[in-house]
Structure formats: C-alpha cells, structure tokens
C-alpha cells in the first residue's frame, strides 16, 4: 500500500504572491482567506499577494499569513480527493498539521497562530536574540558545543532539521561563540534573518500566557496520525497534544527524527502543503539514496496538475 504524508511549512517559507493562484481559482479558498481576515482583523490576502516582504515577514503577520496559505492548499487537495495517512508540520506549520488531522478547527488554528505570533513578537522586543544554522556537524557534537557555553548565557538547539543541519538559538554572544567553535571543527555557520531567538528560553515569558490561551481552545482526538515536533512521536490524546503544543514554543523542533519516523513507517509519497520548498529540500537530504519515494510541493496550479498527472 502506498502511504502518503502531508508536510506543512512554517516560518522561512513565505514569499510575496503565495496562495494567489488558488485564491483566484477556487471560491472555497477565498472563503478561507475571508475567515482568516475576520478572525485576526488583518488584510491577510493583501499581505500574501502584495507584501511588502518586510511586512509579511514580521512574525505577528507571518504566522497567520503562512497558516492561511497552508490551509488553502490543504483545502484544494481535499477538494481533489487527495488524502494522507500521516502528517507533520515544522514549528509554525505544526498548527496547520493539527487542523489537517482534525484536532483543531481551521478558525481556532488561525486564532492560535495569531496569538503565538503576538507573544513571540512581544518577547523578541524584550530580549535580543539570534539564530544560526550549523551545517556539517551531527547533533551530538552541536549539543556538546552548546553545553560548553550555557554557563555564559542562553544558547540551545532550536531545530534539528536534517542529520547535519542544526539551528542554534539564544542570546547573540553565546550563539556567536558556539558558531565560531563549530566553524573551527569544519562546519559552516549561517546567521538567520529572524527577529527573535525562537524555541529558546529567551521567549519563556510567552509560555504561560500561551498555555492559558491554549486552554480556551477545543482540541479533539485527531482523525489522522500527526507526528509532533517536541516528541517526534504520534499522539492520539487531545489533552496530551494540547500540553505538548504548550511546550512547543520553547522546545527544540525534532524535525529530522520526525522524518526518520515517516521513513520507518514506509511512507512513499511526501507532499509539502504550502508555500516554498524548504521541507522537501530537507527531506531530500534525509531520504536514503535507495529509498523509493515521490516528493512533491503543492502551492500552485502547475504543481497540482503535475501531482494529479503522476498519481492518476
């Protein structure tokens, strides 16, 4: 049996024009954008289609914008009868995955990411933060480097994206020192253009308030399996998922482990549902050379037609 996984992108996948083709093509996509705009009182479609990029990338705008596009792309796939067996989402994208799995309504998904963006933005204005991608060292070595400098300030692993791509996060000085040491060990260090130290203790001030907001939102047992960032495992318990999502804000994203789990589960078709190709790019680094997989992005009509033609 050919099993399919839907993967939902998050921050870093945004681009001006995202979602516009589907918006013009389908009435139900326009209804999703209308719902999002009514929910967050923001002109989401204008932000997505016209930008400017600097405004779109501000985390308080970006989180509902990317999520709306993800949900629109999901609705198009569902309309075409394209189904999935498991799903996962990268950081912000995990909220789209929760909606896809039937754990949270689309409107509550938008409410959650808008609140998440507000709180993350607030904390980023209180504490200066930095994030660097370390490319070329395994997680155990990066963990050791981080441990060396934790006494000098806040620094930790934010994302384990692929076997040898790990993002560190925290206060600028210790992040810089870990990066320098990683470079000495033969790795590359790439500073990321972010406004805060996401998935770190520097935004811990948002955690309790976000958990209180989560408590007001109804979660249901998922109808489809979802692999969670914090645990790299599946949960079918609504209360447990809600608790894990409360911890997700400051916990590392175990994306590599999530993808390995999908491979172990013999997933053969991977579909990135939303803008960009960040997740398919990572996946191609993770898949074993002889693994028989098909990998797709679906965020416009041409990509949808290709998928439909190849999977008719």
Helices (H), 234-277: 238-248, 255-264
Which two three-digit tokens encode residue 274? 């939303």
- As beta bridge partners, residue 4 has 269
Tell me which residue has tokens 């992040």.
175
The separation between the first and the last C-alpha atoms of the chain, rounded to the nearest angstrom, is: 15
Which two three-digit tokens encode residue 107? 């409107």
3-state secondary structure at position 238: helix
Q: What angle do CA 123, 90, 141 make, to 5 degrees?
A: 85
Residues acting as catalytic residues: 91, 199
Helices (H), the chain: 20-25, 27-40, 44-50, 53-57, 59-79, 93-100, 106-126, 139-149, 172-184, 207-215, 238-248, 255-264, 278-286, 301-310
Q: Contact at 8 Å (CB) between 150 and 174?
A: yes
Which two three-digit tokens encode residue 227? 């692999």
Indicate the Cα dihedral angle 110, 116, 119, 124, nearest 10°.
-120
Within its chain, how far is the Cα of 58 from the centroid? 16
Q: Contact at 8 Å (CB) between 124 and 130?
A: no
- The Cα–Cα gap between 44 and 276 comes to 18
């Amino acid at each position: 049996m050919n099993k399919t996984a839907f993967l939902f992108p998050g921050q870093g996948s945004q681009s001006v024009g995202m979602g516009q083709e589907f918006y013009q093509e389908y009435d139900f996509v326009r209804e999703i954008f209308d719902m999002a705009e009514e929910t967050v009182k923001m002109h989401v479609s204008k932000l997505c289609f016209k930008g400017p990029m600097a405004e779109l990338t501000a985390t308080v705008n970006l989180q509902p914008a990317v999520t709306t596009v993800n949900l629109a792309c999901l609705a198009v796939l569902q309309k075409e009868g394209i189904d999935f067996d498991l799903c996962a989402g990268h950081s912000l994208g995990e909220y789209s995955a929760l909606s896809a799995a039937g754990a949270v309504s689309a409107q509550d998904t938008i409410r959650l990411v808008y609140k998440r963006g507000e709180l993350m933005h607030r904390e980023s204005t209180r504490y200066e933060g930095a994030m660097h991608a370390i490319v070329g060292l395994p997680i155990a070595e990066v963990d050791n480097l981080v441990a060396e400098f934790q006494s000098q300030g806040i620094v930790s692993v934010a994302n384990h994206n692929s076997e040898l791509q790990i993002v560190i996060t925290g206060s600028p000085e210790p992040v810089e020192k870990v990066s320098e040491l990683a470079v000495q060990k033969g790795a590359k260090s790439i500073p990321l253009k972010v406004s805060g130290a996401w998935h770190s203790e520097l935004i811990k001030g948002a955690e309790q308030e976000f958990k209180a907001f989560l408590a007001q939102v109804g979660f249901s047992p998922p109808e489809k399996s979802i692999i969670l960032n914090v645990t790299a495992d599946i949960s079918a318990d609504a209360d447990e998922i809600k608790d894990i999502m409360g911890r997700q804000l400051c916990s590392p994203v175990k994306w590599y482990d999530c993808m390995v789990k999908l491979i172990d589960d013999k997933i053969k078709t991977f579909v990135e549902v939303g803008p960009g190709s960040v997740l398919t790019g990572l996946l191609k680094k993770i898949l074993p050379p002889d693994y028989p997989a098909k990998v797709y992005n679906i965020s416009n009509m041409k990509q949808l037609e290709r998928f439909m033609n190849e999977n008719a």
